[in-house]
Amino acid sequence: MTNEPNQAAPGRTGRHAGVSGQGNPRARAGAPRAGHAPAASMTSQLSRSLPMLEVDDMAAPMGAPVITFDHVTKTYPAQPSKPALHDVTLQIFAGEFIFLVGHSGSGKSTFIRLLTREIKPSSGKIYVADEDLTTMRNWRVPYLRRNIGCVFQDFKLLPNKTVFENVAFALEVIGKSRHVIKTQVPEVLRLVGLSDKLNSYPDQLSGGQQQRVSIARAIVNRPPLLICDEPTGNLDPQTSRGIMDLLERINRTGTTVLVATHDREMVDNMRRRVIALDRGHLTRDQDRGVYGFDV
Ligand SMILES: Nc1ncnc2c1ncn2[C@@H]1O[C@H](COP(=O)(O)OP(=O)(O)OP(=O)(O)O)[C@@H](O)[C@H]1O
């Protein structure tokens, strides 16, 4: 995902390989072949994410996969006989909006932690825009993470910094100039509807507003991929809807959005691609899917 040359991912499998009977018609009808676009062009394609906010234009999945899991198994040492993820194979394409669903302990956080290279798989391969995370050198990991915005259930805002400073901090740590910060921070706070809260502190905001700040922080550097782990877990249904509307708007700019959630109503209402995990197994991968688990 950086502009440096990468080895193209070898031997990719189909997007829905490993899941029987729940295929995606778009994929079956000749989904773009994996691994055929060079990483650099992929990057320039993906990096044009935020500035053009055309809310009515639904982004269609583009050529090469942004994410590939190729027979990924993750076993934690503490539970050697019970893999947290077991032989998961899937592909996610640029511009998709995906729900990752499953009961507590099904492997959603493990999936996300593998994607951000917090942890490595026990076996199998993971590619993010043709970068092989399993062989990626540690010094490259921060560059990977610049391309992945992360949003969490508990917001993770710095309590002693204002809204502006919280968002600006994400740019400061990657060395962006004051000029860029002064331009991009107000712009992204306008996008999330918080122009009037620049000087407020997190404890002066509602939960929904705090989550908007954390989304602003996640996208201010215009990452091509946004990962949200239970983004509405602490919010009431109406506020949650507003957050999901915002994530859909961000998705429509071309940003790939992956949302791990227990929010059945949201998933059932939005009817986006659903990837379901059950005790570490990929059990369902559906376009316009539903939550699908009994409570
Ligand atoms: N660091 C760890 N060490 C040992 N086992 C772990 C570790 N992290 C997770 N697990 C185990 O791996 C399995 C998957 O956990 P994971 O946190 O990925 O699930 P989850 O779907 O995100 O759950 P939740 O919805 O509750 O966050 C569980 O059995 C969990 O106990």
Q: What per-residue confidence (pLDDT) applies to 39?
A: 38
Average pLDDT over residues 191-202: 97
Q: What per-residue confidence (pLDDT) applies to 62?
A: 55
CA 252 to chain centre: 14
Q: How far is the CA of 105 from the centre of ligand 1 (A)?
A: 5
Q: What per-residue confidence (pLDDT) applies to 9?
A: 42
Q: Whose CA is nearest to atom 18 of ligand 1?
A: 107
Output 62 or 204, whichever has higher pLDDT: 204
Q: Whose CA is nearest to atom 13 of ligand 1?
A: 84
- 67 three-class SS: strand
| Amino acid, single-letter form, for residue 45 | Q
Taking the CA of residue 109 as reference, the ligand 1 atom at the shortest distance is 22
* Mean of the per-residue pLDDT values of the chain: 83
Cα–Cα distance for residue pair 252/26, rounded to 1 Å: 19
| Numbers of helices and strands, H then E, in the chain | 9, 10
Q: How far is the CA of 172 from the centre of ligand 1 (A)?
A: 32
Output 83 or 44, whichever has higher pLDDT: 83
Q: 170, 165, 247, 169: which is closest to 208 by C-alpha?
A: 247
Q: Whose CA is nearest to atom 7 of ligand 1?
A: 76
152, 230 in Cβ contact below 8 A? Answer: yes
Each domain of the chain, given as residue ranges in start order, spans 156-222
Q: What per-residue confidence (pLDDT) applies to 133?
A: 97
Cα–Cα distance for residue pair 15/64, rounded to 1 Å: 11
Q: Whose CA is nearest to atom 29 of ligand 1?
A: 105
- In this prediction the pTM is 0.83
* Probe residue for ligand 1, chosen from 75, 85, 110, 112 as the CB with the greatest number of ligand atoms within 8 Å: 110
In DSSP terms, which residues pair with 123 in a beta bridge? Answer: 73
Q: Which residues form the pocket of ligand 1, taking CB atoms under 6 Å from any ligand atom? A: 76, 78-79, 84, 102, 104-110
* Probe residue for ligand 1, chosen from 85, 100, 106, 279 as the CB with the greatest number of ligand atoms within 8 Å: 106
Q: Tell me the pLDDT band of 277, cut-offs 50, 70 and 90.
A: very high
Q: Is the pLDDT of residue 268 over 80?
A: yes
Q: Is the pLDDT of residue 93 over 90?
A: yes
Q: Whose CA is nearest to atom 5 of ligand 1?
A: 76
ipTM over 0.85: yes
* Range scoring the smallest mean pLDDT among 34-43, 64-73, 86-95, 125-134: 34-43
Q: How far is the CA of 88 from the centre of ligand 1 (A)?
A: 15
Average pLDDT over residues 96-109: 96
Q: What per-residue confidence (pLDDT) applies to 61?
A: 52
Average pLDDT over residues 198-224: 96
Q: How far is the CA of 108 from the centre of ligand 1 (A)?
A: 8
Q: Tell me the pLDDT band of 64, cut-offs 50, 70 and 90.
A: confident
Q: Whose CA is nearest to atom 30 of ligand 1?
A: 105
Q: Is the pLDDT of residue 295 over 60?
A: no
Over the stretch 107-138, which tens digit does the pLDDT of each residue have? 999 999 999 999 999 999 999 988 999 999 99
> SS3 letters for 212-280?
HHHHHHHHCCCCCEEEEECCCCCCCHHHHHHHHHHHHHHHHCCCEEEEECCCHHHHHHHCCEEEEEECC
109, 163 in Cβ contact below 8 A? Answer: no
* Probe residue for ligand 1, chosen from 81, 100, 109, 229 as the CB with the greatest number of ligand atoms within 8 Å: 109
